[in-house]
Every structure is written in structure tokens, then in C-alpha cells.
Structure 1
Amino acid sequence: MRPKRLNVKITIPFVGEISGEWEPDDTERRAAWELYVELVTRVSVVPLPPGEGSAREALSSMYSLFGTVRELLKRYGPDVAPPGDRDEVSLGALAVTVLNNAVRPVLTRWHPRLTVRESARPAGRSAVEHENSWEEIDALRADLESLRRVLVELAQVLGAVAGAADLIRVSESVPRQHPADDGAHRAAGR
């Protein structure tokens, strides 16, 4: 069921919130679906537990959202960013505001610092091991978690506009098992 009008509220740490009413048309619904799929299939909306995964991969995934949103906005044109009152929200306004006020500051802060750290990796040490031994890794992961929450809020709004199931909650409800913990996968060579 696709809502005719939504009340939207997305909180961005240290900035405030984006809020207002959104009355999406079919073009915005299609664009919302595309961006929703991009968000729910990325590491950027999945928790990154300490010692697991790669902060570099998370940063790279978030960086790629700029290209994704740019292409989406160009493809759908001004229909996804119509002029309106201050209390009205559009897909274009939400996406650009989240990118510029939530994603960009995290990337600006951490991308150069992590690059410096990576350049000091000694031979024979894995990139992930080197990353996880960094004295700033906990602060980086905390910022990634804050950003993840913003992106989850955005994804939930987009999913509602598109009339889709909450694919984030569906995937979170499936118990995760590390492949190395599953003897059947190891035995099968997967």
C-alpha cells in the first residue's frame, strides 16, 4: 500500500532533523524504490561489529552513494525535487541533505586519516588487521554507526514511499552465521 502523504523525520547527528510532509508522485515513488534498493543492499545500513568487516569498505560504500544519487537525480530530473513550502519534503531534498550533511562530513573526516593509516601498513600484515589495530578505529566505527542510523532512517522513509516491505528488518531477523563457523560450508568448499 502506497501512502498518499507521509510525515517525514530524519535525525542527523550534530545537524538536526529533516522533517516535513511528503506527497510523492509516481516518479518519486519509482526513484525512491531505486534508492531504497541501493541503500538496503549496501554495508552502509548493516551494523559493523567491532573486529568484523572493514571500515574502508564501509567508507567506500558510502562514498559510492554520491554517484548513485547523482545519477538518480539526473535520470528522474526535477520531478524528484519540485519547489515547495519549507514544510514539504521531496526525494531530491532528502537525498542531497543526507549526503551533504551526514555522509560528507564522515567521509571528509575519516577518508584522509584512514588513507594515511593504510599507507603505513607493514609488509606481511593484512589490511583488516592493520586497520583494526589503529588507535582511532573505535572512533571511526562509532561515526560509521551514527551514519548507519541516518541511512536506515532514510531507507525506511524511501521504502514507505515506494510501498515496499521493510527489507532491513527482514534481513536483520535472519540469524547471521559466519561462514567459518559452518562446517558444512567449509566441507563443501564454499
Structure 2
Amino acid sequence: MSQLLRTSVARVLFSVLIGATTGLVLFGVTRLSGRDLFVVTGGIAGAVSVLMFQVYGRAARLTEVTVTVPQFSQLTFIVNDESRQVAWRLFVETVTRVSTQPLKHDDGLIRETLTSLYGLFATTREALKAARPSVPVSGGPTVEYLAITMLNRELRPFLSSWHPRLLAYENATPDGPESAWPDNADCRAELRVVQANLRSYALGFARLAGVKEGQLLIDGAP
């Protein structure tokens, strides 16, 4: 309570100081004439024009993007240059892993797939931690919201469900092939669903990043 009171008093004092300074400047300007008046008013006009250009530049870089992902019908984002950079990094991390590449019934190892998905979880989290939080525009979602939703609704449930089960089999039968794991087929079936969902998120990141050929890049990824 005392901290809140001190903060409120500081804000009032700061506001009084700003108001007094502004009044003093205006008083001085009204007493000017001739060349001095033109110099001061010209300087003020220049400062105002610079501020207006900055505001206009920020507004011009804002883009409205509609994304369709699992669990949602459509989400409308307002993105700027910073959020595009975050979305591009998340797109690259997603499409360069097995997260979006099909794993056939008898192809590859589930252990390698789980390891790759763990890597995607870690790099996505690190990318979000390293980036400056986006400021929501008009109350809409941000690229961070989309990424965290992907982590909590797709990656975390799948990994927390299947990693312990596969690990238990590996510990019980150290020399047994993964193909002999009784849950192999069920895990692969659920993995295909998760991969399809992650593909939608990857396409969403591509749209937010301004990638025109996002689907082609995903399909063409090795």
C-alpha cells in the first residue's frame, strides 16, 4: 500500500513538473518576435513532423494476417517487423524437423522422432525467451500466443504421454527392437495426427512471417 502511495505521489509530482515546464516554454514562445519566433516555431514543427513520420512508419509496417490452426477456426493477427522475425525463426525450426515430415509405418525410429520433437519444444521456448514480447494490437493474439499454444496443446501432451511409455519398454528390454514394442503402432498413429497439426502451425508461422511459398517449403523439406 505504501509503495503504491509513493508511486502515485511520484507520478503527480512528475506531471506537475511537465506541466510547469510546458507552461514556461509556451510563455517564452509568446514573448518572442521576429527571427527568434520563426526559429522556435520551425523547430517545434520539425519535431512534430518527425514524430508523425515515426507513427506513420509503424502503422505502415503493420499487417493483418488470418491463420487457421487446430483447436481454432481462424485467428486474426496484426504483425509488425519484430513479430515477423520471431515467426520466421519458429517456421524454420518447425519445418526442418520430423515434426512436419511423415513417418511411415515401418520407416524411421520413434525414439529419434521424440528426440526431435523435444528439440523443437526447447528451441521454440528459447526463441520466445530471447524475443521481446509483442504488444497486442486491438486486443488480438500475438505470434507468441500461437507458439505457446503449439507447445501446450500439441507437443507437451504427446511427449508427456509417449516418452515415459517408450522409455519403460527400452529399460525393460534393452536389446529388444523398437518394432517389437507393443505400443509401436498406436504411437505412430497418434504421431501422424500431431504432425498434421504441427504442419498447420508451421503454415501459420509462414503466413505471419510473410513467407509466400510456405507450403512448398514444407513439402520440399528433406
Residues 76/157 of structure 1: CA separation in 2 closer, same or farther (3 Å cut): same
Residues 69/171 of structure 1: CA separation in 2 closer, same or farther (3 Å cut): closer
* Higher radius of gyration, 1 or 2: 2
- Give the counterpart letter for 2:162 in structure 1: W
> C-alpha distance in 2, partners of 1:4/1:111?
40
Corresponding pairs, count: 162
Alignment of 1:92 onto 2:155: no
TM-score by length of 1: 0.76
3-state DSSP class of the match of 2:198? helix
3-state DSSP class of the match of 1:94? helix
Matches within 5 A, 1:22-171: 22-79=77-134, 82=136, 85=139, 88-123=140-175, 125=176, 130-167=177-214, 169-170=216-217
Higher relative contact order (CA 8 A, sep 6+): 1
Unaligned runs of 5+ in 2: 1-60
> C-alpha distance in 1, partners of 2:156/2:141?
21
Displacement of 1:172 in angstroms is 3.1
Percent identity of paired positions between Structure 1 and Structure 2:
35
Contact 1:3 1:163 in 2 (8 A): no
TM-score by length of 2: 0.66
> C-alpha distance in 2, partners of 1:63/1:141?
16
Contact 2:99 2:195 in 1 (8 A): yes
Query: What do residues 114-168 of structure 1 show as CA deviations (whole Å, max 9, x unaligned)?
Result: 0011112354x5xxxx112212111101111111111111111111222224355
> C-alpha distance in 2, partners of 1:171/1:3?
26
3-state DSSP class of the match of 2:182? coil
> C-alpha distance in 2, partners of 1:26/1:170?
21
- Give the counterpart letter for 1:110 in structure 2: W
- Give the counterpart letter for 1:121 in structure 2: T
Residues 149/114 of structure 1: CA separation in 2 closer, same or farther (3 Å cut): same
Unaligned runs of 5+ in 1: 177-190
Residues 173/82 of structure 1: CA separation in 2 closer, same or farther (3 Å cut): closer
3-state DSSP class of the match of 1:42? coil
Alignment of 1:5 onto 2:64: yes
161-170 vs 151-160, greater mean Cα deviation? 161-170
Higher helix proportion (structure 1 or 2): 2
Cα root mean square deviation, aligned: 2.4
Residues 110/84 of structure 1: CA separation in 2 closer, same or farther (3 Å cut): farther
3-state DSSP class of the match of 2:168? helix
Displacement of 1:89 in angstroms is 2.1
